[in-house]
Amino acid sequence: MITISIVSPQKSMDLIDRAIAMKDFGCLFHKYVYDRLEEIEDIYEQCKDSCDVMFFSGELGYSYMLTHVPDIKVPCTLISYEDKHILSILLNFVVRYPHIPLTRVYIDFLTPVNDYMNLKQYLAPAHMPYLFENPVYNYETLKERAEELWKGGKIDIMLTRTTNQLNVLNKLKIPYIHILPTEEMIRDSIKSAVNAIRLKQQSQDTKLIVLVKLIYPEHITSHDREYLEITLHKYLLDFRREYHYDFAIRSVSNRFELDMDTDLYKKSFDRIQDLISYLDQKGDLEFRLGAGFGNSLGESHYQAEKALQEAIRYGKNDGFIIHGDENVLTGPLSLTRNLNYSYSNTRALAYSQENGINESNLLRIVGLFQMDNDAVVTASSLSQLLNITSRSCNRILQQLLDSGLIEEIEPLRQEGKGRPTRQYRFLKEQFIDTFF
């Protein structure tokens, strides 16, 4: 899901909240309020790895971001005024205040950053209001310009978008009109940002999404829950640094989404196996992992969600990948040899329903057959593959034996007085006829 970080003063944030309350944009919003422009740098550090775009309420914060944060890794945009909006504001002003000529007005949000919204193309110099000409755009320079024009007797009123500067204007006793964007403008700006992100996502060749979900102990306190989430986040950051793998990390409640471009299919498998091993060796977290390959983030995310559900069903610190048009599952990934199987095998699903075998367990057995149809199977080896008890595996093996799909071979005799281990192998023709 697309994540947008909204960065705004509180008053503007209230307006944005109202604008997006009744509209489903199909994305997730994180909101960051600032009082001082310097706080934007800290906000960027907080959200740069967890959002697809930073969305500013106005020119001032947007301009500060572009001029003070080097090597920005997150696309930035803002609630944008178009030419028609500026002309509408000026027309309404002229109608409402016919006694104040535009040449006695100062507009502090028409700046070099936005090329003065092309106003100089529409108005002759004789009718032009005062604009903000300084390339250095911050609270101090805004104050200096307003004070210079007011004390110099050059303006009667100013139009401002700068919410956090209103108290300064009140102290200077400068008349002003606070211009806020309409709710429609806010929604249109957000839609433009979302559409741009989706277009970019769809144009990328191959994407790999990895979802890592925390499994909490029963009766966990909120503090312990928070501690586990922070711990997992730290492990993911440590893994990224230690293995030099480049991926973005997004946090949503008890799960984390890792997003990376991938052209090397086999190498991506190795990366995920490295991650599972790394997290499992920490020993203090229970997790499940699902990964998906696709031609877009949307497709990859869908595959990863399905793979995560398979990992949850499997029920231990491990992971699965879904890839290809046939939605082929690969896993458990911690095993030396990974199985490939698919829920599109309708024959296997029908057999599982008719014979009372869990469909995930049966599909993995079918995957084992596809990987090595000469494999020798025991309840113990099947228990490791399916993550269920040996007793449950014995019941499955007996069902397959009764159906004529496997045959019992000579038992494996143990050293000492232990009972021999029952062994089985696939009856290939019968297995193929039943499941393929």
Crossing angle (nearest 10°) for helices 390-402 and 379-386? 110
Within 8 A by CB and 6+ apart from 237, the residues are 249
Multiple choice CATH, 204-344, 3.50.50.60, 2.30.30.30, 3.30.70.270, 3.30.70.3270? 3.30.70.270
pLDDT at 104: 96
Percent helix, strand and coil across the chain, each to the nearest 5: 50, 20, 30
Q: 30: closest CA among 38, 20, 22, 39?
A: 20
Could you give the strand order of the β-sheet that contains 2-8, starting from the edge strand earlier in sequence? 27-33, 2-8, 53-56, 76-78
Whole-angstrom distance, CA of residue 268 vs CA of residue 234: 21
2-80+183-200 and 83-178 in the same fold = yes
Whole-angstrom distance, CA of residue 158 vs CA of residue 135: 19
In order, the DSSP letters of 132-171 are: ---S--SHHHHHHHHHHHHHTT--SEEEE--GGGHHHHHH
CATH number of 83-178: 3.40.50.10660
Q: Which CATH class is domain 2-80+183-200?
A: alpha beta
| Pairing state between β 2-8 and 207-214 | unpaired
pLDDT at 264: 46
pLDDT at 7: 94
Provide the residue ranges of all domains of the chain, joining segments of one domain with +. Answer: 2-80+183-200, 83-178, 204-344, 345-436
Considering the segment(s) 345-436 as one domain, its CATH architecture is Orthogonal Bundle (1.10)
Could you give the strand order of the β-sheet that contains 328-331, starting from the edge strand earlier in sequence? 248-252, 255-261, 207-214, 287-294, 318-323, 328-331, 339-341
pTM of the model: 0.51
Contact assessment for residue 3 and residue 39, using Cβ atoms and an 8 Å cutoff: no
Run of H or E including 17: helix 10-21
In order, the DSSP letters of 106-140 are: EETT--GGGGGGGHHHHS-GGGPPEE---S--SHH
Whole-angstrom distance, CA of residue 424 vs CA of residue 403: 13
* pLDDT single digits (tens) 298-347: 788 888 989 999 999 999 999 999 876 567 888 899 887 778 888 888 89
Q: How many helices (H) and strands (E) does the chain have?
A: 16, 18
pLDDT at 324: 66
Crossing angle (nearest 10°) for helices 222-243 and 265-282? 130
In order, the DSSP letters of 31-80 are: EEE-SSTTHHHHHHHHHTTT-SEEEESSHHHHHHHHHHSSS--S-EEE-P
pLDDT at 50: 85
Contact assessment for residue 397 and residue 382, using Cβ atoms and an 8 Å cutoff: yes
- 3-class DSSP assignment, residue 368: helix
Whole-angstrom distance, CA of residue 8 vs CA of residue 40: 9
Q: How many CB atoms lie within 10 A of CB 394?
A: 16
**Max Cα separation, the chain?**
109
**What beta strand segments (E) does 267-420 contain?**
287-294, 318-323, 328-331, 339-341, 376-377, 406-412
* pLDDT single digits (tens) 35-94: 999 999 999 999 888 888 899 988 788 888 888 887 788 888 888 777 888 899 999 999
| Pairing state between β 2-8 and 27-33 | parallel
Which of the residues in the chain have pLDDT under 50?
Answer: 204, 263-265
